[in-house]
Amino acid sequence: MSGATSTSRSRFDSGPGNAMNKLQSAQEAIASLESGMTIGIGGWGPRRKPMALVREILRSDLDDLTVVSYGGADVGMLCASGKIRKLVFAFVSLDFIPLEPYFRKARQNGDIEIMEIDEGMLLLGLRAAAMGSPFIPTRVGLGTDVLTRNTGIKMIRSPYDDARVWVAMPALNLDAALVHVDRADERGVCQIKGPDHYMDDLFIRAARRTVVSCDELVATEYFHDNAEESRYVFWERSATTAVVHTPCGAHPSSCNPLYGIDVEHFNTYAASAREEDGWQRYVDEFVAGGEEDYLNKVGGVAQIKSLPAPVY
């Protein structure tokens, strides 16, 4: 545990109740999900993806999933393993490898159903779900094939005097959201210290249940040391259902400032897509043996933590 050096102390004795403990193993957390669910995945492209949780899904018998994501290898791996029935996305990319190889295969083979929308529409869909609204009106999507290809997205006439029709971006209600954070306590206070929390707060709020993996599990006192620490907490703990402690759980995506993108591993992953049975070999080598085995295979925690932050 980090944060053990805390010097701040409450001057009150603790009361009779026990604080909630949301700590679960990755297996327990993923076992709480069901096939056919709509699952939102936080992060952005190759950045702070809950990859340890994704690998746990690969090890599970979950399937028939609808996945909502600013996609990276999370989407690629779930495509490769046939877990995705439908994908809600604006892009899938590893940035330095622009075209995600397994997503590409899945699309070009016609393997998955899709709802392709603008990045901002995805944000609005999550926000609508978070607000409990059926939709949010927007101009985004007008005139494009996002509307012709998604006949489920309706238009609405403004009830005010602008005399325009608007895109009624429907709520993207999630059964579950998976997010990776820098650190959390066992009550579900979650901190993202990196430069961007992306839309993770919206994924969390759009979901009925949420699983947050964390690089570091800390005592609550960690947040007491310095008021600045709580400025990096983007949702209240009642929105966190389960906390899973997964050191380097975003690997091979980045968890800036703790570690950067593992370019070499992404290259290995992308190369596997060009080989016959490449995905099965990737799974056998990196996924099947469990998370401890994975971390050893990719060089260990110390090595991952030395990966430099990406330069954009």
Partner 1 sequence: MLVDLLITACSRAWDDDGEVLASGIGVVQRLGASLAMHKNPDLMMTDSEAYMVSEPVPIGPRDGYEPQRETWMGFSRIFDNVWSGKRHALVGPTQIDRFGQANISAIGDYDRPKIQMLGVRGFPGNSISHANSFFVPNHSKRVFVDGEVDMVASVGYNPDRVAEGWKLDDIDIRIIVTNLCVMDFRGPDHQARLVSLHPGIEVDQVVENTGFELCIPPDVAETPQPTSDELKLIAQYDPHELRASAVK
Q: How far is the CB of 273 from partner 1 (least distance, A)?
A: 13
The interface region with partner 1, picked from 20-28, 198-206, 239-247, 261-269 by CB under 8 A, is 198-206
Interface with partner 1 includes 90 (CB under 8 A)?
Answer: yes
**Beta-bridge mates of residue 47:** 44, 254
The interface region with partner 1, picked from 56-64, 113-121, 242-250, 293-301 by CB under 8 A, is 113-121
Cβ distance 163 to 190 under 8 Å? no
* 307 contacts: CB under 8 Å, gap ≥ 6: 254, 259, 260, 261, 262
Bridge-based pairing state of the strands 38-41 and 65-71: parallel
Interface with partner 1 includes 212 (CB under 8 A)?
Answer: no
C-alpha to C-alpha distance for 198 and 14, rounded to whole angstroms:
36
Chain position carrying tokens 């989407």: 75
Cα R_g (the chain), whole angstroms: 20
Q: Which residues between 123 and 152 bind partner 1 (CB under 8 A)?
A: 123, 139-146, 148-149
Q: In terms of CB distance, is 116 or 221 closer to partner 1?
A: 116
* DSSP at 251: T
Binder among 59, 85, 86, 107 for partner 1 (CB under 8 A):
107
Interface with partner 1 includes 119 (CB under 8 A)?
Answer: yes
Interface with partner 1 includes 91 (CB under 8 A)?
Answer: yes
Q: In terms of CB distance, is 3 or 72 closer to partner 1?
A: 72
Q: How far is the CB of 124 from partner 1 (least distance, A)?
A: 9
Interface with partner 1 includes 89 (CB under 8 A)?
Answer: yes
Amino acid at 246: T
Work out the widest C-alpha separation in the chain, in whole angstroms.
Answer: 64
Among the listed residues 110, 41, 115, 113, the one whose alpha carbon sits nearest the alpha carbon of residue 77: 41
* DSSP at 310: P
Binder among 108, 227, 276, 277 for partner 1 (CB under 8 A):
108
Q: In terms of CB distance, is 7 or 151 closer to partner 1?
A: 151
Interface with partner 1 includes 197 (CB under 8 A)?
Answer: yes
**Beta-bridge mates of residue 65:** 84
* DSSP at 284: I
Q: Give ∠ CA 242-304-292 in degrees, rounded to 5.
A: 55
Interface with partner 1 includes 206 (CB under 8 A)?
Answer: no
Cβ distance 212 to 239 under 8 Å? no
For residues 63 to 82, the per-residue mask of contacts with partner 1, x marking binding by CB under 8 A and - elsewhere, is --------x-----------
Binder among 78, 130, 199, 287 for partner 1 (CB under 8 A):
199
The interface region with partner 1, picked from 48-56, 84-92, 261-269, 295-303 by CB under 8 A, is 84-92
Cβ count within 10 A of residue 190: 29
Which residues of the chain form contacts with partner 1 (CB under 8 A)?
44, 71, 89-93, 98-99, 103-104, 107-110, 116-121, 123, 139-146, 148-149, 155, 157-158, 162-165, 195-199, 202, 311-312
